[in-house]
Chains A and B, each alone.
Chain A
Amino acid sequence: MMRDERIRRLPMVLSALGALTLAIVPLPALVDPFRPDFLVLVVFYWSIESPRAGGLTFAFVAGLCLDIIKGAVLGQHALALTLMAAWATNLRLRLRVFSVLSQSLTIFALLTGYQFILFWIDGATGNPVTSLGRWLAPVIGALIWPALVGLLSRLHER
């Protein structure tokens, strides 16, 4: 049992580190608003695939990392990510039998909820983001979701 869990956790940590790197790699200003929330997608994947390996603790820690790297209020991304990961975990049995399209749509809803919580906290703490660009990330995220699942399940099988 212990051993089984350890095998499961390595790909999880590796994919999270990869996603964190992708989140801060500089992109040309033209492409930058189109960057999906890689780490969020990875957290969703693991919440659906094996909630026992990391679960909400994983989501919370990943959120804290995002807070520190993005210089946001400590706890902002952590809150959004924990709530949405819990929702994803709750939906996971249904998600697994969904078609690709329905999965992507569900992920879109989860990502939008995530952005909405961020948006709400930004407003509540007094530094709102004025551009509409942030609502683009859920669309891109939902579009790359099938590819990401393919990649991560390959990684998982190793």
Chain B
Amino acid sequence: MVAFRSSDTSARSTGLLLRCVLFALLAIIMMIVDKRYDHLGKIRRALSIVAYPAQVAVASPFEGWAWLRESVTTREALRADKARLEEQLRVAQFRLQRYEALEAESRRLRALRDNTAGVGARFLVGNVMDVDLDAFRERVLVDKGAHDGVYVGQAVLDAGGVFGQVARVGEMTSEVILISDAAHAIPVQDNRNGLRTIAVGTGDVSHLKLPYISTAADIVKGDLLVTSGLGGGFPAGYPVGTVTEVKRDPAQSLADVEVSPAAALDRDQELLFVWPAAGAAPEVSLTPATTKPATTPPPKPGEPVKPLEAAKK
């Protein structure tokens, strides 16, 4: 039976109202300071250290279970796994041979055009922590933070393609916003014909959409979209997704295009943080700086790329 036992019936409404207003004001001021000026970043980073043990505590049973399951795997399963991985490695090496030749060729061609779009140079592997942030936002918590040199706006990949970018950095952890988040946009280009556009998240991990494609544009089902590198947030040339549906309504000026992401957004455990290649020129030679999306901030001054670039000039 639902019952409250307390005899605490003192009615202190005036004090209550006053404190309520005070706390509300404090909260509003905090929100404004947090949103407008970035002063609370340090406080937040310090507080994220406090939250870290709780997050680890919640994640560890799941990791322990995974470890236990892995350690009781049978010899048969391991052998099957090994055979499969060897097969994959063979295929990958075969592809890599071609890739190296292609990369050299592409570098020569880009040199001709005086445009060195950088493919990422340094990688760091991070693990997704089994912690839920918010059911209605596409974000994950990863176990690498400012301590490892991760910075806000950094591109994050997985084995399939582009996964997202770093939205917030803590000391030991960082929050990665997925490309499928409704607030995320990524500059892409069609790998078949170089058509450039922006892929916007939908809040659903299974698809993205291209809202700025005109009905006359040359885009068909099955086209591969790769990062264009415009805006400087993401390195160029990584797969983002495949076009799954193109709806053209002659009455509308824009087509309805759906894209299925290349990265396994809903089940990936290992992610790659990418640092742009040293000497990567700001990719602005293709178009004037109008296509820069709001969600990809330019690299921060503290980053290793800038000094090198400055030294070159």
Measured CB to CB, the residues of A under 8 A from B are 20-21, 23-27, 29, 32-33, 35, 48-52, 55-57, 59-60, 63, 65, 68-76, 78-79, 82-83, 86, 89-90, 93, 95-96, 100, 103, 121, 125-131, 133-134, 146, 149-150, 153, 156-157
Does the CB pair B28–A24 fall under 8 Å? Answer: no
Chain A residues with CB under 8 Å of B57's CB are 21
Residues B51-72 near A (CB distance < 8 A): 51, 54-55, 57-59, 62
Contact A153 B132 (CB under 8 A): no
Are B31 and A73 in contact, CB atoms less than 8 angstroms apart? Answer: yes
Asked if residues A69 and B51 are in contact (CB atoms below 8 Å), the reply is yes
Complex partner residue of B30 from A74, A95, A125, CB under 8 angstroms = A74
Interface string of B165-196 (1 = CB under 8 A from A): 00110000001000000110000000000000
How many A-B pairs have beta carbons closer than 8 Å: the answer is 147
Chain B residues, Cβ within 8 Å of A131: 136, 203
9 A-B pairs whose Cβ atoms sit less than 8 Å apart in the complex: A35-B132, A52-B8, A68-B44, A68-B47, A75-B29, A83-B20, A89-B16, A93-B9, A125-B31
Report the bound CA distance from A26 to B133 in whole Å.
9
> What distance in Å separates the Cβ of A19 from its nearest Cβ neighbour in chain B?
12
Assess A56 versus B135: contact at CB under 8 Å? Given A69-B51, A150-B2.
no
- Residues 123-140 of B at the A interface (beta carbon under 8 Å): 130-137, 139
User: Told that A74-B33, A89-B16 touch, could you supply 17 new A-B pairs with CB distance under 8 A?
Assistant: A24-B54, A26-B130, A33-B136, A49-B4, A56-B16, A57-B23, A68-B47, A69-B133, A76-B27, A78-B30, A79-B27, A86-B19, A86-B20, A127-B182, A127-B183, A128-B182, A153-B4
